[in-house]
Structure 1
Amino acid sequence: MPAKKIAIYALTSQGLAVAKRLAARLPGTLYASKNLEAEDAISFESLKHLVSASFNAFDGHIFVAAAGIVVRCIAPHLQSKETDPAVVCMDQTGLFAISLLSGHLGGANELADRCARIMGGQSVITTATDSAGVLSIDSLAMAKGLAIGTINKVKDVNMALLEDRTVQLYDPEDWLGLAWNASFEGKVGYEDWNDTMPGIWVSWHNDAPEGSLALHPRVLHLGIGCRRDITTYEILDHVYAVFKKYGFSMESIASVGSVEAKRNEPGLLEAAEEFGVDPVFYSTAQLAAVDTPTPSDRVQAHMGVPSVAEASAMLASHGGELIVTKEKTSTVTLAVARSNRA
């Protein structure tokens, strides 16, 4: 996972000293008001205009400024707790770091804690579960590398935990590490699932009961072979069709792999971006060393290896199981491997 991009803003000379310390330790991109004439920072005239351009370009924002100013600047750009970046507001003495937006999913709570440690100050966390010292399921899911499929159900589970109510849990591989937690009723399956109770369903399939909080481990690795100049849509359509056929969750995609010769194929690169992963490319020597179930003489003739899709998927899964052998259209070949639990 790529490192998070952080923007840090200073409006006053005293605040600039704080911002510089934060930028050096995090690290982050430093912005300073033009009248400060800070040589080692990007200057701006209007914070409002700057935030309009930068808000969605960074994973997190730290404002060394009054909270009221920050709220007015970010308000027009807020979309949802699932997509909004982390926002932390710090006073110009470095005494308090307030987690203002996207505390859990965006990581603002953690970012506020880091700012406070750097400055020797105090983080201010107001999310309910953190204030009560109770487990936050969205924070736990993120820490465990699980994608949240039904974001609107997070609040139901967190509220139940706050009220000390038991939560149903289907997590046969114990991805969440809650097998022995008394707040959760484990080993629950379809036959005894109660639709009237809050519950969590962890699976790499699209099989969660209606009303549950669906969490998806990222364990599915796509191996893709394709024609030159293929469109993004041809790849996406084939992947969607195969995933629908097998009932796989798109949120469980962990990687996209192919042969080195496809490194600059725009359609493949854009498809990987659509899946939210960085593509991985393998040399012909790496691919040729993999024993695949359905090698192809045609692929050998064109690419110099007996398999691209299956071999790429198997390499990406680091010894996992090939769960879908190659499935083809006239322009795309797809194979899917599942990485081991570890």
Structure 2
Amino acid sequence: MPPVPEPSIVLVAITRHGAAQAATLARALPGARLCVSAKFADVLHEFEERLQVYSGPFKDEIGGLFAQYDQIVFFVSLGAVVRLIAPHLRSKDEDPGVTVVDDAGEFVIPVLSGHVGGANECALRIAGLLKATPVLTTASDVGRTIPVDILGRELGWRVEAPKINITRVSAHVVNGEPVAFVQEAGSRAWWTRPTPPPANIHRYERFEDVDLQRFAAVLWVTHRPLQAEHWQQLPERLVVYRPPLAEEAGQ
């Protein structure tokens, strides 16, 4: 399986203190670029080759940052960031991950595209580098359960389901309702947390072994071609994951 490419990331500051904080983080993230007001560019002189300087209104920079980067880390107040990014929001499938670091460098908060956009993962990484506290509010992360929309992404799994199914099944998972997890294919290393999966997740080896009446939803990892009857049996209750075929050889 080819390696997952490293996301492009930019560290953004609009104050001298924020620029100094961004410099600290940039030293630990050699692939990150920086965006800072021309007034404070001197704080970041050591990063000249990675530095983007602006001199006009900061709000005019947001569209370009959204288009260019996978992750945007703001050393700016949370309220200001919300107002700045609001006109540029499209959907969680298109928006970059947005994370905020407070002025004291004590808290790291994913604001936008926590799961699909990777902001939660980015926030955890940054918090570790800054020795700060990550503040995650996504239910599946707080509850330490299965993130239905991105399960197996690092393994190359592809999600196959209507969006309404993903929404409904995610709710069943985080609400602790009984969910069948059927794994007929793919790596078994999909669960990476130090504690076991929650008790409401029941594991099976074959779809046919599941009593569908017992479960609020089914997560099915398989290479099988699905028939219309499978979706009809589980209206808005089924999410399918397709592991890469090459993954089987490495098990």
TM-score, L = length of structure 2: 0.78
- Name the structure 2 match of 1:340: 249
Deviation at 1:19, TM superposition (A): 0.7
Amino acid at match of 2:17: Q
Match of 2:24 among 15, 21, 39: 21
Query: Match of 2:212, as an amino acid?
Result: N
1:4 counterpart (4, 7, 14): 7
Aligned mates of 1:76, 1:70 — CA distance in 2:
11
**1:48 matched to which residue of 2?**
59
How far off is 1:158 after superposition? 2.8
2:202 aligns with one of 184, 197, 203: 184
Shift of 1:206: 4.6
2:174 counterpart of 1:149: no
| Cross-structure match for 2:212 | 194
- The separation in 2 between residues aligned to 1:58 and 1:6, in whole angstroms, is 6
AA aligned to 1:46 is: P
- Residue 80 (str. 1) matches residue 91 (str. 2): yes
Does the Cα contact within 8 Å between 1:141 and 1:176 map onto a contact in 2? no
Deviation at 1:2?
1.9
1:259-304 CA-to-partner distances (Å, cap 9, x unmatched) read xxxxxxxxxxxxxxxxxxxxxxxxxxxxxxxxxxxxxxxxxxxxxx
* Cα distance change on mapping 1:144 and 1:156 into 2, 3 Å: farther
Residue by residue over 1:190-230, the C-alpha shift from the partner in whole angstroms, topping out at 9 and shown as x without a partner, is 685738831112234551732311211123xxxxxxxxxxx
1:160 aligns with 2:172: yes
Specify which of 129, 132, 139 is matched with residue 140 of structure 2.
129
Mapped to 1, the partners of 2:116 and 2:21 lie a distance apart of 26
Provide the alpha-carbon RMSD of the alignment: 2.7
Contact 2:155/2:190, CA 8 A, preserved across alignment: no
CA 1:213–1:207 in 2, change beyond 3 Å: closer, same or farther?
same
SS in 2 for 1:340: helix
Q: Mark the CA change 1:120 to 1:178 in structure 2 (over 3 Å): closer, same or farther.
A: closer
CA distance in 2, matches of 1:57, 1:190: 46
CA distance in 1, matches of 2:153, 2:105: 28
Q: 1:67 to 1:187 in 2, by over 3 A?
A: same
Query: Which is higher, the Rg of structure 1 or of structure 2?
Result: 1
1:120 Cα offset (Å): 1.8
**Is this contact kept in 2: 1:97–1:122, CA < 8 A?**
yes
- Offset at residue 88 of structure 1 (A): 0.4
The amino acid that maps onto 2:239 is L
DSSP-derived class of the 2:249 partner: coil
**Higher RCO by CA contacts (8 Å cutoff, separation 6 or greater):** 2
Q: How many corresponding residue pairs?
A: 225
Structure 1 residues 85-124: aligned runs within 5 Å: 85-124=96-135
TM-superposed CA distance for 1:3, in Å, is 1.5
- Decide whether the 8 Å contact of 1:144 with 1:176 is kept in 2: no
State the alpha-carbon separation in 2 of the partners of residues 157 and 189 from structure 1. 17
CA deviation after TM superposition for structure 1 residue 139, in Å: 4.4
Distance 1:204 1:75 in 2: 40
Q: Indicate if the aligned counterparts of 1:63 and 1:88 stay in contact, CA closer than 8 A.
A: yes
Aligned to 1:259: none
- Do the aligned residues in 1 keep the contact of 2:41 with 2:53 (CA within 8 Å)? yes
SS in 2 for 1:138: coil
Q: Distance in 2 between matches of 1:5 and 1:178?
A: 24
The runs of 5 or more residues in structure 1 that have no matched partner are: 220-316, 318-337
Q: Give me the TM-score of the superposition, normalised by structure 1.
A: 0.58
CA–CA separation in structure 2 for the residues paired with 1:168 and 1:81: 26
